[in-house]
A and B are shown apart, each in its own frame.
Chain A
């Protein structure tokens, strides 16, 4: 689409100022990646605690899951703060909140989420009160949903960066959480029964398959819908600067884990499950990074 326009206009920019470089760097990739793990593992524990309510191995995960989630949410918050050009003014968000901004809503929700995780750690490690933990855990899981989703709203509000559409981004955020959350649970839940681990493998494989289908759909059909999408996807096609990284991400995050999980089901190999989990978690970072970078390369003016 862009090529056709250029060949029609024969227009060349002959004098202009330098364009801004990448505005949101890899700090934001870390932000999204760590948040996916931090909320995803909460979703997975909720699922396991409902399906395997009487399994002691699941009950024993209360503290490790809360701690893992807290670590990754802290990484998320740290990189969010580090990405600010004026990090010492972070408090302005809470004292001058602007309610139409997903950044404001997200910061408040993420802080509340971190507060609930602190309570979970307190009940599981200090008080050893499972009943109190489970009550708080339900609300933590509920809050994890909008905490997972709000970054999609933030990306979607970038008006002319058409690749970031709310419907697909919100689905991708949830799938990233279930993919990395199930991966983290496979690595964390050594003592889980094989059935529970297999369930996590199924969640991981389905998340990978669905996310891959959506990326491929955007890759193939996106350019037919908007000039900006066509121009953006040029950066991951042919000899584009992010082509190799894009496909590496797709292979490590989605294709390889899917294949490894299928093989693990056939051989009942837990090692293959773990390998799939590591590959998915590492690959997710690459996938998120490419998708964050390429719309920023588009010239807005």
Chain B
């Protein structure tokens, strides 16, 4: 079994329901996010459009975070999920540095690394991840990539040619796919991130692990 995720960006409307569901389900502390939806505006007025991109851990087949973790706190489980053992983590932040997707953070409450686990605890009870359940337009598709009859496998087959991963050149083989993605949505260097140009005006950067 190889669990994977696909987000159809044609369907996503940026409601952030997935973001909130994730926060609630996993009790993600203030100032940190396992999953977030990024808004990027493209073009010049009046020819503009807004794009929405949910960003979470890619559960890579060749995960740099798993490789760099000195104590195997980040580890693979049988269904392909890259899970984290917070009791074992020493908080060296090697994984935060190694992840090319910025998907890992230091939890300010536990002072250990944390990230999206595809809701491994829910999956173990045969439930869908919280973000999948919350999505009102079924833009999040989750399932077994090894099973040709799963929804995600069928979706990938149908949308063949419009399916992408983030930063494929890094050789991480992500198990997280995007339909309808492009340079602006998947490459952080393709958009300008201005100081104070966001709802979180004075919060462009946060101290890692909170104030301690």
Contacts and interface: CB of A to CB of B under 8 A. Distances in A.
Interface of A: 2, 5-6, 9-24, 83-87, 89-90, 92-93, 96-98, 100-104, 107, 154, 157-161, 227-228, 231, 296, 299-301
B36 interface: yes
B68 A301 contact: no
Interface string B157-169: 0000000001100
A161 to B, nearest CB: 7
A21 B167 CA distance: 22
B20 interface: no
Interface residues of B, number: 64
A157 B64 contact: yes
A301 B184 contact: no
A13 B189 contact: no
A17 B64 CA distance: 23
A18 B70 contact: no
Interface string B51-94: 00001000000001001111110000000000000001111111
A32 to B, nearest CB: 14
Contact of A158 (B98, B203, B207): B98
Contact of B71 (A2, A18, A96): A96
A15 B67 CA distance: 32
Task: Classify the secondary structure of B's interface with A.
Answer: loop
B198 interface: yes
A14 B111 contact: no
11 contacts: A6-B190, A11-B192, A12-B197, A13-B39, A13-B198, A15-B38, A85-B91, A103-B94, A157-B67, A158-B64, A299-B102
Interface of B: 31, 33, 36, 38-44, 50, 55, 64, 67-72, 88-94, 96-103, 105-106, 111-112, 166-167, 170, 172, 183-184, 187-194, 197-200, 203-209, 212
Contacts, number: 188
A62 B97 CA distance: 39
Given A6-B190, A20-B102, A300-B99, A11 B208 contact: no
B40 A12 contact: yes
Most chain A C-beta atoms within 10 Å of own C-beta, residue among B33, B89, B92: B92
Given A21-B205, A301-B55, A13 B68 contact: no
Interface centre among A2, A6, A14, A83 (most CB of B within 10 A): A14
B72 A98 contact: yes
Contact of A12 (B41, B88, B101, B183): B41
A98 B69 contact: yes
Contacts of A15: 38-39, 198-199
Contact of B43 (A10, A13, A18, A84): A10
A93 B189 contact: no
A89 B207 CA distance: 22
B86 to A, nearest CB: 10
Contacts of A12: 40-41, 191-194, 197
Most A CB contacts (10 A, CB to CB) among B90, B183, B190 go to: B90
A171 B197 CA distance: 41
Contact of B190 (A11, A17, A87): A11
A160 B167 contact: yes
